[in-house]
A and B are shown apart, each in its own frame.
Chain A
Amino acid sequence: MCVSLYDGQYPDYLDMGTIVNGIISESTPTNTTYAVRMAGISKQYPGILANDNVNLNIIKGTLHAVIGENGAGKSTLLGILYGSTLANSGTITINEVDVTHQLRSPADAIEFGIGMVSQHYSLIPALSVLENCILGAEPTFASCWIDRKKAAIKINRLVDQLGLSNINLDALARSLSIPLQQKVEILKSLYRGADILLLDEPTAALAPSESTALFKLLQQLVSMGTTVVYITHKLKEVMSYSESITVLRSGKSVAQLRTENATEEELLSHMMGKRIQKNVAALNRIDTMGIKEHAENSEIPAPRMLLQLNKITALNSRRALALRGVSLNIHKGEIVGVAGVEGSGQRELAEALVGVSTIEEGEIIFEQIDISRCSIQERHRRGIAYIPEDRNRAGLIPSLSVADNYLLGSQRDSKWGGGMFLNSSEIMSLAERMISACDIRTGHGGAKMQAGSLSGGNQQKLLVARALKDSPQLVIACQPTRGLDREAAKLIYKIISEAVSRGMSVILFSSDIDELFEISDRILVMFNQRIAGEVARDNFAIETIGALMTGTSIQIENVTPA
């Protein structure tokens, strides 16, 4: 399973740390050079401990995977290593030199030979490939003119070494495809002399074949002596390409192991924090069962249909196809989870449903009426509510009060104290009632507090309360508990499930599998801008969903969802 191009031998398995009941016991290296050693790293954000005494040890010249669920603290950890985030405590050693106090900015990290390919690529779209590569490290003559020739020679040498082709150095970054942009990001790091390359979810936006190509490239880099660290939550990538693995869970490093000694099952159990009893071999069986059952379901006289999507296609902001013929049905009173690797079309599907973006083809039938050309307001009036993913920009207006944010959108509705003139005492009392019903901690100001001053969990409760206040028939909830602690998340589930018991339906977009398992009646899995399959509650298993998410399950390929 392990496809390693690394021809050297690991000195000793024990050097990677041994796992004893999920706790790492460190042993001193004998003759190993570590490119990175981070010890006891902690990072406290308001309300959340993102990294809790995390250890990360990476042997020079290896391909190391950092895995964990969403919110496990992976990006924070790499951010600290790149100097873009400052840790509260812990030590950082680069190439066996303690740099804890020197590494305080990305510029410092670059000095120490660290390069970063961030999740949201940092190329400047309006600059050319060459300009992006040399930015901040320009070769010049007369200390002012950019020496393009020199730069081009150096970049081309790197391009040749890596066996890349088709890179036009004068092309604007915005004209490049996503995989190509990523390659340029890597070039940019190498140009600056990086010998430790960090990649944050490098395959999140890549198709499977593109991911394979990327890992081939990374392995080649490793064979040239570079150390590569990448974040992922796709186990296939970990098992196929990495040499060693660090598993993070809830901000803690819970395991550090060599890939050749690890199994997917073991990794999953570390990631999820509970040993999964199901046999991985049962994976495919479960898959087929789920799909079959789904097919049968559609023949049984169905419960009342609420929403029907017929072959929806949509474009994203880059005018690329973001939804390729998505069809689905939602019945009254069910919670349907939507899972998928980030960028598989979930955001676009949610926005198309709510009316934030328009669809190219297909129809959206809600209660027997085609609403695909209706405005956001019109859809809201018909009973579709929205909990957007981006709380602070698309959801709340942070500078307005809690009461105002609660009113937002129904300011012309007399039921909520709106109308031509606002009934502020009514608005306040409704908001106060909502605050106590949802247990929102506003501090001394009550409903008059600025929404921006609330904690993330309380902001989210406010957003959920607003979405539910008109007793909608359907709620589109996007990552409603992202960044929230367990307690706050539970309250949000409670608020939602109460509304569901009154007949409301929910489409829950989430990257948190546990959350989907906990409250969904069935889960639709998106892959590659389509719905790859559907899993009924009886068949919920990490393996099933994971396989559908990565598009690796053979049986899935031929199945067209309803």
Chain B
Amino acid sequence: MNPVFSFLFQRLRPILSILVGLAIAGIIMSASGYRAGEALSALGSAATGLYKGSIRGEHDWTISGTTHLNVFLVAQSLSRITPLILTGLSVAIGLRAGMFNIGCQGQMTMGALAAAYVGQFGIRDAATGLGSLPAVLHVPVTLLSAVLAGGAWAAVAAWLKTKRGVHEVLSTIMLNYIASNLVIYLITHNLKDPHSMAAQTSMMASSSWLTPLVPGANLSIGLFIALCAALLIAIIMKRSALGFEIRAVGQGAEAARTAGMPVERTILLTMLISGALSGLAGSIEVMAIHHRCLQGVAGTYGFDGIAVALLGGLQAGGAALSAVFFGALSNGSAYMQLQTDVPDSIAIIVQAVVIICIGIRQFPSIKLNIRKDAVRDISS
């Protein structure tokens, strides 16, 4: 391949992957008899909050002439972007150390559960949910509990990997199912809200809630927590000794070991951080939106994190950017389903296509005829 073209291709690859994903989604929608154009424009409009015509809401902004911005929809997209940044970082940092953590779903669930539990501390009045703890204390403690719970859940997989040789993909998947069932048990038994018929925990004390940013929307200051986490991970990966160890272990574990690096400890620490990030995502979901733990509290954010991380090139900044795309896509597709009846699972198809496009390492016609034999090392 022409080097200039190749360079551009590599740089533009994330964008191209997204375009291919959307194109295939469009084709699938039209092939199944939906009006693809209409659906995609509904999706885009809900994802970005932009719409044409006369202004609809009092809080909406006018961008130019007939183009307006629905602040509520933007906030909804951003609220979905928040956990995706964190689960994307979670998958990315794991993969940087060579660990394919697809247990973000379970780690996030455990984080949500821990936060919902700790968030009930210090409730003076169960009916009103008024807390006796100051928010400056309660919020960090609740976040911390989720970080610990997520980290611990991931540490199980790390331990199984380093001590028993169990592949992390299988162990984390099993742990996902176990976490989800554990939550279902607890919200129907020990932690069930006694004042409600529904399977959910009691309402958390308001002192543990995250401050909403847009009235009525799910967006909270959790977004800033997620962005801070992205910044922190970027600094760890680029500037810290730990980040260096993670990169070295992921790129060449044997050379790292020979050079005297603690490979096993690095894998364990990486998984702890990875799980902590997913746990944090879970806590933000309950602290900002539900204010309690309920079934399916983690949505599909854990799995979506895989696509976010891969599209983001396993970089913290990249993960944040690709979370923007997938978060908006997820919000857009939900509204699209309401407006046009097109199932929101089209977003999953886009995700799958993006993962496959990013994963391709070589194009068959271009490189396959290079014979390995011809470049074998000499030794004699």
By a beta-carbon cutoff of 8 Å, the part of chain A in contact with chain B is 45, 48, 50, 68, 70-76, 79, 83-86, 105-106, 119, 231, 354, 356, 375-377, 380, 386, 388, 393-400, 404, 407-409, 411-412, 418-422, 424, 466, 483
Contacts and interface: CB of A to CB of B under 8 A. Distances in A.
Contacts of A73: 378, 380
A380 B260 contact: yes
Contacts of B25: none
A287 to B, nearest CB: 28
Contacts of B259: 376, 408-409, 466
Given A85-B373, A420-B241, A422-B244, A356 B257 contact: yes
B257 A376 contact: yes
B254 interface: yes
A72 B380 CA distance: 7
A84 B173 CA distance: 43
Given A376-B258, A377-B260, A397-B256, A86 B380 contact: no
B252 A397 contact: yes
A424 B239 contact: yes
Nearest to B244: A411
Contacts of B368: none
A132 B377 CA distance: 25
Contacts of A419: 241
Given A408-B256, A409-B261, A424-B239, A79 B376 contact: yes
Contact of B258 (A388, A399, A424): A388
Interface in B245-302: 245, 247-248, 251-252, 254-262
Of the candidates B240, B241, B376, B380, the one having the most CB atoms from chain A within 10 angstroms of its own CB is B380
A388 B259 CA distance: 10
A393 B240 CA distance: 24
Main secondary structure, interface of B, reads helix
Contact of A407 (B244, B252, B254, B262): B244
A421 B380 contact: no
Contacts of A395: 255, 258
B360 interface: no
Nearest 8 pairs of A and B residues by beta carbon:
A409-B259, A397-B252, A75-B380, A377-B260, A411-B241, A74-B380, A376-B260, A408-B259
Given A409-B261, A418-B241, A421-B239, A50 B378 contact: yes
11 contacts: A74-B380, A119-B379, A356-B258, A393-B255, A395-B258, A397-B256, A404-B248, A408-B259, A408-B261, A422-B244, A424-B239
Nearest to A390: B254
B374 interface: yes
A354 B257 CA distance: 11
A68 B380 contact: yes
B252 A75 contact: no
A400 B239 contact: no
A399 B257 contact: no
Interface string B17-32: 0000000000000000
A207 B377 CA distance: 27
A76 B380 contact: yes
B76 to A, nearest CB: 38
Contacts of B373: 83-86, 105-106
A65 to B, nearest CB: 14
Nearest to B241: A411
A397 B380 contact: no
A447 B217 CA distance: 49
Contacts of A354: 258
A377 B266 CA distance: 14
Contacts of A399: 251-252
Contacts of A396: 252, 255
Nearest to B255: A397
Contacts of B260: 375-377, 380, 409
B378 A75 contact: yes
Contacts of B376: 79, 84-85
Contacts of B261: 377, 408-409, 411
Given A386-B258, A394-B258, A404 B244 contact: yes
A325 B255 CA distance: 28
Contacts of A83: 373
A394 B241 contact: no
A418 B374 CA distance: 41
B373 to A, nearest CB: 5
A422 B239 contact: yes
Contacts of A85: 373-374, 376
Of the candidates B247, B251, B252, B262, the one having the most CB atoms from chain A within 10 angstroms of its own CB is B252
A86 B374 contact: yes
B254 A394 contact: yes
Given A75-B378, A407-B244, A408-B255, 6 more contacts: A84-B376, A231-B380, A376-B260, A397-B255, A411-B244, A421-B235
B248 A400 contact: yes
Nearest to B371: A86
A419 B244 CA distance: 11
Contact of A412 (B241, B371, B380): B241
Nearest to A388: B258
A79 B371 CA distance: 14
A84 B258 CA distance: 32
A422 B241 contact: yes
Contacts of B239: 421-422, 424
A424 B239 CA distance: 7
B240 to A, nearest CB: 5
Nearest to A201: B380
B313 to A, nearest CB: 14
Contacts of B240: 420-422
A397 B380 CA distance: 24
A343 to B, nearest CB: 14
Contacts of B258: 354, 356, 376, 386, 388, 394-395
Nearest to A393: B254
B95 to A, nearest CB: 14
A68 B257 CA distance: 35
Interface string B343-373: 0000000000000000000000000000101
B255 A377 contact: no
Interface in B200-258: 235, 239-241, 244-245, 247-248, 251-252, 254-258
Contact of A397 (B248, B262, B377, B379): B248
Contact of B247 (A105, A394, A400): A400
Interface in B315-364: none
A419 B254 CA distance: 22
A400 B256 CA distance: 11
Contacts of A483: 378
A522 to B, nearest CB: 27
Contacts of B371: 86
Of the candidates B248, B255, B262, B371, the one having the most CB atoms from chain A within 10 angstroms of its own CB is B255
A409 B260 CA distance: 5
Nearest to A386: B258
A71 B378 CA distance: 8
A150 B174 CA distance: 48
Of the candidates B239, B247, B260, the one having the most CB atoms from chain A within 10 angstroms of its own CB is B260
A458 B247 CA distance: 23
A400 B378 contact: no
A338 B371 CA distance: 37
A70 to B, nearest CB: 6
Contacts of A404: 244, 247-248
A48 B378 contact: yes
Contacts of B254: 393-394
A73 B371 CA distance: 21
Contacts of B245: 411
Of the candidates B244, B256, B373, B379, the one having the most CB atoms from chain A within 10 angstroms of its own CB is B379
Interface string B166-197: 00000000000000000000000000000000
Contacts of A71: 378, 380
A71 B379 CA distance: 7
Contacts of A356: 257-258
A386 to B, nearest CB: 7
A515 B244 CA distance: 36
